[in-house]
Amino acid sequence: QVQLIESGGGLVQAGGSLRLSCAVSGRTLSSFAMGWFRRAPGKEDEFVATLRWGYSTYYADSVKGRFTISRDNAKNTVYLQLNSLKPEDTAVYSCAMGPGAAGAGRQEYNYWGQGTQVTVSS
């Protein structure tokens, strides 16, 4: 059974940083694409970033230059470093696993975590 468990969310002031983690069990993530999505209150899911099996990355324009996705194959964990946070980054952040070339589409991913709350105060 595949499980994705996120951690690292919290409350931070604008301009601050957080590092989110997504621990994967039941699959070796090195052969898959790992993505991060977020859902703000009253809004639909928004793509944030993806890290494909060949280590290529792709970011939403709204987070480019501020967020960094990475993975540790030995720990079977993917990370999302959030820097220069803004109040509009407030959302539940979820990680997802999909085929190696999965991109920005939510439907491209097969497995999802429950999410971790990130709240940025102004």
DSSP state of 104: S
Question: Average per-residue pLDDT in the chain?
Answer: 96
Count CB neighbours of 2 within 10 A. Answer: 13
Torsions phi, psi for 106 (to 5 deg): -60, -35
Residue 31 has pLDDT above 90, yes or no: no
pLDDT tens readout for residues 55-69: 899 999 999 999 999
- The reported pLDDT for the residue numbered 79 is 98
User: What does the longest C-alpha to C-alpha distance in the chain come to?
Assistant: 40
Contact 7, 19 (CB under 8 A): no
Least confident of 77-81, 89-93, 96-100: 96-100
- Cα of 52 vs its chain's centroid, Å: 13
- Residue 54 confidence class, pLDDT cut points 50, 70, 90: confident
